[in-house]
Amino acid sequence: MITNVRLRNFRRHVETDLKFESGVNFIEGENNAGKTSLFMAIEYALFGNVHGFRSQSALLNRVGSTIGVEVIFQGKDGMKYKLQRLHEITTRGNAKGHYTLKQVREDGEKYLLSSDFQDNPEEKLQLKLIELLGVSKRLFEVAVNVRQGEISGILDGAPTLDIVLGVSAASTAEKELRSIALGFEKEIKELPTIKASLEGFIVQQQNMEKQKETIDIDGLDIDKRINEFTDELERIGETRDAIKPVQVVMNELIKKHYEAGSMNNLISMHQGNLDDLGNEFGDIDTLVHEIDTLEGEMMSKSKTIDVIEVSQQTHVASLREYEQQLGNLIGMINRRSSITTANCEVCGANIDQTRVEQELKQWSQDRIRVESEITRTEEEISKLKSLAKEESHIKEELTRNKIFKQSKLEHMRELQSTIATNITNLKPVLGEMKELLASLIEEENKLKTIIPSIEIHQHTLEIDDWTTWRIIEYGGHYFKQITELETAENQIKVSLSYENENKRKLTIQKQELDINLMQLNERVADLTDKIILLNNRQAAADKLRRLSAVFKIIQKTLRDQSSTELAKHTLENHEELTGSKEFIDIKVDPAKYSVYVKPVDLNGQEVLASLYQGGGHKLLLGLAYKLAIIKLVTNPLFILLDEPTYGLDSTNKSNLFANITKVIPNSQLLIITHQLGGQIKDHRIEVVKQEKLSEVIIHA
């Protein structure tokens, strides 16, 4: 039941407050006074728009910019509710709407819904209103809001009745459920294939797990062998480390041995040389004597050469004299031979020719003698020169011999000194070496005692007893052991490398297997999810199929029952409204919902209602049909009737007003009329036209 309606800027109503009572409420007023706007306001509040109006802006009057309607009603549960709706209209005519639905209680109001805080706010409100009022938008349009001039038209049926009666909903639900089920069933067809794939994958999974276990076992074996090899290498390393000092000492020992041997040889060699030099010391004295002899001979030769040179000089001087004599003689001879005159050209004296000839003869003889002397002297000088040369040569030979011998002597003396120095120097070194050898052997012996794992021949080596072969044999013992260890180590390293390679391959194999297994697990999980999904889809499809079948039955039931019940209620309603029985029977076509009547006066002949009767009768039958629809669909809390008596005679009008509450005794009726004529005593609301606006006067 609607108890209050408030309008703000709604069409002609600037601010109108209405209060309704239970039972019949009449709204009267002259034409265009704003009566129908009150029903429009209720429709607007309930559904957000008004049939025939495209936009809310068309509902706004010229006074304000916001339209608002508040409806307070009592729901099926007996509780009071307040529905407020408004639209802000922009200057461009766009409308932005809001609503709130509150429960009105004694202790205050409680918000139930608000368009500002809901998802799908209009859907929520409509479903709530169906729950609270039993009125859907379609039912409101078809039957609850009975508009002027549309009453009798319902007799030809209305396609929307299928919707109002729920037939369309059942049909649509049946089809949609079947369609969704079909979609699911199409998906489900894959299920056996997916299950087979899953089984195959699970077998693969198990095989991979087994392979993984085998790899793990192999890995453990390899790890064990690697550990063994590593331990063995460690032991070999420890042994080698233990042997290493002995090896170092042995190497040092052998090295020193050879060095000491070399040193001994060197000393022996020098000693031999020294001895040889000692043997040759006599030779040194001979050499000194020979040098002295050579010096004597050289002195003698020098004297001889001096004598020869003196003699030579004498002969040369004689030669100069002879040559001078010869020159003088030749000159005199030449001058005497050239005298052709008898007198001297200088003094003029007479020249004695005989004397001249004698002098020439004498001088020629002297010349011959002097020339002979010159020849002889020259020969003598030549001999002396030759002799001097020979002697000089001998002297030079002696000198060279002396120098050689002196050089040899110096060399021998130097060698002697060097050897002596070497022997002097080497002797302490040799001593040190021998001491070093002794300390090395001692160290070796100490090492031997602390390495029980190494079998070492226990030698007590006296330094003097050293022999090369013993050293080599002794060192060889270590070298053999080291070689054996190295061989073993190399073999183990090869084995270890082999095992490490195996381990690496095994690790790669395991990683690949893990990746494959992970991928397989993902695929198994996907397929398992898919199977769960498809199983769920199977269950859902079964439900959908079942519900679809249910709605198919409901659809038929609704259509069949509805037409029967509508016909029955229409007949009853008509009889109540008119107070008379005009029809034997009424039928409703289940396909189109058109009404057929069997009038009393046609002896049971069935005719289409809309063709049979006049306006007033059709209006009453139409109203009876509309009320039957309402009663069939819901137990209506209120009904809006806009000019339901238009075209009725006064008798039918009176009967209608008098009997309508009998037809729907539990519903509130809001009836618009301008033909009341003061005959009704119920609650009346008068709508008065005030120029372009409306005013309401409530008559309690």
Partner 1 sequence: MSINIKDLVEKEIRDDPDLIDVATSIFEFVQYLLDDDDNLTKSGNLTSSAKSSLEERINHLIMPEESQ
**Look-up of token digits 């009320």:** 627
Angle formed at CA 624 by CA 622 and CA 629, multiple of 5 degrees: 95
Q: In whole angstroms, what is the distance from residue 230 CA to residue 493 CA?
A: 9
- If you ran DSSP here, which 8-state letter would residue 58 be given? G
Residue 504 buriedness (CB in 10 A; 0-12 / 13-18 / 19+)? exposed
CB of 142 to partner 1, least distance (A): 10
- If you ran DSSP here, which 8-state letter would residue 140 be given? I
Q: In whole angstroms, what is the distance from residue 227 CA to residue 234 CA?
A: 10
Nearer to partner 1 by Cβ, of 172 and 502: the residue is: 172
Nearer to partner 1 by Cβ, of 156 and 514: the residue is: 156
Nearer to partner 1 by Cβ, of 504 and 546: the residue is: 546
Nearer to partner 1 by Cβ, of 534 and 595: the residue is: 534
Nearer to partner 1 by Cβ, of 63 and 127: the residue is: 127
Residue 600 contacts by C-beta under 8 Å, 6 or more apart in sequence? 581, 582, 583, 584
| Residue (of 293, 138, 169, 240) closest to 485 by Cα position | 240
Q: In whole angstroms, what is the distance from residue 611 CA to residue 630 CA?
A: 24
Nearer to partner 1 by Cβ, of 180 and 584: the residue is: 180
Nearer to partner 1 by Cβ, of 377 and 562: the residue is: 562
| Residue (of 260, 372, 258, 389) closest to 312 by Cα position | 389
Nearer to partner 1 by Cβ, of 127 and 217: the residue is: 127
CB of 150 to partner 1, least distance (A): 17
**DSSP-assigned letters across all residues of 485-527:** HHHHHHHHHHHHHHHHHHHHHHHHHHHHHHHHHHHHHHHHHHH
Contact between residue 453 and residue 290 where contact means Cβ atoms under 8 Å apart: no
Nearer to partner 1 by Cβ, of 437 and 630: the residue is: 630
Q: In whole angstroms, what is the distance from residue 43 CA to residue 51 CA?
A: 8
CB of 169 to partner 1, least distance (A): 4
Q: In whole angstroms, what is the distance from residue 290 CA to residue 423 CA?
A: 31
**Look-up of token digits 């025939």:** 52
| Other beta carbons less than 10 A from residue 431's beta carbon | 11
Q: Give the footprint of partner 1 on this chain (CB under 8 A).
A: 123, 126-127, 130, 136-139, 159, 163, 165-166, 168-170, 172-173, 176-177, 180, 533, 536-537, 540, 543-544, 546-547, 550-551, 553-554, 557-558, 561-562, 565, 631-635
Nearer to partner 1 by Cβ, of 159 and 282: the residue is: 159
CB of 545 to partner 1, least distance (A): 11
CB of 118 to partner 1, least distance (A): 14
Is residue 70 within a helix (H) or strand (E), and if so which, with residue range? Answer: strand 66-74
CB of 577 to partner 1, least distance (A): 19
Nearer to partner 1 by Cβ, of 48 and 622: the residue is: 48
Nearer to partner 1 by Cβ, of 52 and 614: the residue is: 52
HEC states along 13-24? EEEEEEECCCCE
Q: In whole angstroms, what is the distance from residue 442 CA to residue 452 CA?
A: 17
Q: In whole angstroms, what is the distance from residue 506 CA to residue 58 CA?
A: 83
**Do β-strands 13-19 and 683-690 pair in parallel, antiparallel, or remain unpaired?**
unpaired
Give the helix, strand, coil percentages of the chain, each rounded to 5: 65, 15, 20
CB of 52 to partner 1, least distance (A): 12
Q: In whole angstroms, what is the distance from residue 681 CA to residue 676 CA?
A: 10
CB of 628 to partner 1, least distance (A): 11
CB of 10 to partner 1, least distance (A): 22
Q: What phi and psi values does residue 675 have, to the nearest 5 degrees?
A: -125, 35
Q: In whole angstroms, what is the distance from residue 136 CA to residue 123 CA?
A: 11
CB of 127 to partner 1, least distance (A): 6
Q: In whole angstroms, what is the distance from residue 663 CA to residue 88 CA?
A: 41
| Other beta carbons less than 10 A from residue 264's beta carbon | 14
CB of 496 to partner 1, least distance (A): 58
CB of 533 to partner 1, least distance (A): 8
Nearer to partner 1 by Cβ, of 19 and 568: the residue is: 568
CB of 514 to partner 1, least distance (A): 33
